Amino acid sequence: MSRIGQRRQVVIPKKVFDALALAEGDVVEVTVENGRVTMKPKKLIDGGEALTPTDAKKVRHAMQQLKAGKTTPWPQVKHGLGL
């Protein structure tokens, strides 16, 4: 069991902390699922590491197309896909 402190802080019990191999400064995602609070360890990544080189190239190409005005409005795309 844990108690909520003045600043909405919750202490993670040592057994849980150790079982998840957490360390001071780690980041956890806190969500609500079916009326329960859930915490999931998350790893922060550098923004430059988020995309593979191939994906980064695709994004750069798409940005160039946007700047050049070579885009298709979403309603037209949906219509073309039959959505």
Same domain, 52 and 74: yes
Q: What is the pTM of this model?
A: 0.47
Give me 10's structure tokens: 């919750």
- For 43-79, write each residue's pLDDT tens digit: 877 665 677 888 889 989 999 998 998 888 889 989 9
Same domain, 58 and 31: no
For 8, 31, 42, the CA distances from 45, given in Å and listed in that order, are 26, 20, 10
Domain containing 61: what range?
48-81
Same domain, 40 and 52: no
User: Under a CB-based contact definition with an 8 Å cutoff, are residues 28 and 41 in contact?
Assistant: yes
Amino acid at 12: I
